[in-house]
Amino acid sequence: MAGEDAIAIIGAGPAGAAAASVLAGKGFAVRVYEANRRLGAKPCGKGIPSIGDLPVRIPRDSIVRRIKGAVLYVNGSLAFDVEEGLEGVIVDKERMLEAMIAESGADLIRGAVFKPSKGAVRIGAKYFEVKRGLLAGGHAFYPGETINALQYRLKSPMFENLDKLLIYFDTWLIGYYYIFPGPSNEADVGVGGFARFNDLQALLDKFIKTSEYTRNAVILKREGARIAVGGVKLGTTGGLPRIGEAAGFVLPLTGEGIRPSMISGAVAAEALASGRNPLDSMDKSSIARGIRVQRRILEKVKSMSPERRAELLKSIPAEAHAMIALGKIDRGSLVKVLARHPRLLARIISLL
Ligand SMILES: Cc1cc2nc3c(=O)[nH]c(=O)nc-3n(C[C@H](O)[C@H](O)[C@H](O)COP(=O)(O)OP(=O)(O)OC[C@H]3O[C@@H](n4cnc5c(N)ncnc54)[C@H](O)[C@@H]3O)c2cc1C
């Protein structure tokens, strides 16, 4: 098969597309093998809450809305309206991935399924050995803890001018509901958390019936998937280093996976290009550190009563919410915020 010496990227999601962009941009021959015919088909809210630290450019015509912050509700009451640090976008994920891969110059082979037991990709009835590459196959390859997430695509005039992400914590559930505006008058409204799929569905149905934004909306589509929340788990599968959600590059408290997966893909690709070990480079990345801190916080939160969870959520200052939520947590900036909020200092530092 032509291009046998090319670097193989398994999976054309955000991690695979970012890795392909970096490697092809450095002049390597790259082949992206994608099991599906359509890209970005996996359920996703498509929100990237901060674009400042993205390692790759988001193609302009894939941006469907600009986001200028997030509004957080705790048990139905408004808790915070956060703008600082949250300048993001909602994307048309399929269009973004198609454009990123096409612009990179990498080859994209659809309907190509990687089989780890054979260390090979199956295309039609034939197998092609993969000698060098990265595995960006998403949550199905993740060896850690996952939770359920369910979302509906809704249509309502209420979403037309929405330029913030709406997050609703219900502290009886370890998780949250979200309203992420989409194109024109549509939004993805979902819930993710530590609960069974049927229970989440009942909770989401109730939320949609009662929330002022959604109670008169029309449901266009229902979909669900799992999210890796167990933190970074580096390693190889079928001989390939895992990147993106397959390696746990998802922020465990928020379920945000597009930006972390892209960053991990770019970090791994840089390492591969310069002969370094991609696993070591991802391990040392600041996004891996942010994910580890969030995972520790999640462990604590899981063991708290709903009342203590509500108290903790409300006691975190707005500026720290964005920093923690985005996984941009380094001791220096945290200490600066907490110097202004001394009573919180001991509680949070003890989690690091
Ligand atoms: C309901 C829901 C809502 C979400 N909302 C958001 C959000 O708003 N913002 C956000 O940042 N994150 C969100 N996430 C998380 C985000 O979707 C993922 O973390 C992110 O897409 C992971 O990127 P990835 O490239 O690692 O994997 P994926 O996006 O899962 O891509 C993996 C690709 O690999 C392909 N593949 C799988 N197996 C094989 C194989 N054997 N051979 C070849 N190809 C294969 C798949 O078809 C897929 O195209 C959400 C998740 C869910 C479930």
User: Tens digits of per-residue pLDDT, 24-53?
Assistant: 999 999 999 999 999 999 999 999 999 988
Tens-place pLDDT, residues 182-195 = 999 999 999 999 99
How many A from CA of 330 to the centre of ligand 1?
27
| φ, ψ (nearest 5 deg) of residue 10 | -95, 115
For atom 10 of ligand 1, which residue has the closest CA?
A: 256
Select from 109, 114, 150, 258 the residue to mutate for testing ligand 1; criterion: most ligand atoms less than 8 Å from CB.
258
Ligand 1 proximity of 296 Cβ (cutoff 6 Å): no
pLDDT on residue 314: 76
How many A from CA of 41 to the centre of ligand 1?
8
Phi-psi region at 29: left, alpha or beta (left = phi > 0; alpha = psi -120 to 50):
beta
Q: Are 327 and 85 in contact (CB under 8 A)?
A: no
Ligand 1 proximity of 151 Cβ (cutoff 6 Å): yes
Atom nearest to 46 CA in ligand 1 = 8
Give the domains, in start order, of the chain with CATH numbers: 7-64+90-138+235-290 (3.50.50.60), 304-349 (no CATH)
| φ, ψ (nearest 5 deg) of residue 138 | 85, -165
Q: Are 7 and 106 in contact (CB under 8 A)?
A: no
Mean pLDDT by groups of 10 residues along the chain of 352 residues: 77 98 97 98 94 93 94 85 85 98 97 97 96 97 96 96 91 89 95 93 95 95 96 98 98 94 98 97 95 89 83 75 75 70 62 49
Ligand 1 proximity of 123 Cβ (cutoff 6 Å): no
Ligand 1 proximity of 10 Cβ (cutoff 6 Å): yes
How far, in Å, are 60, 187, 212, 222 from residue 215 at the CA level? 32, 13, 6, 16
pLDDT on residue 2: 42
pLDDT on residue 312: 77
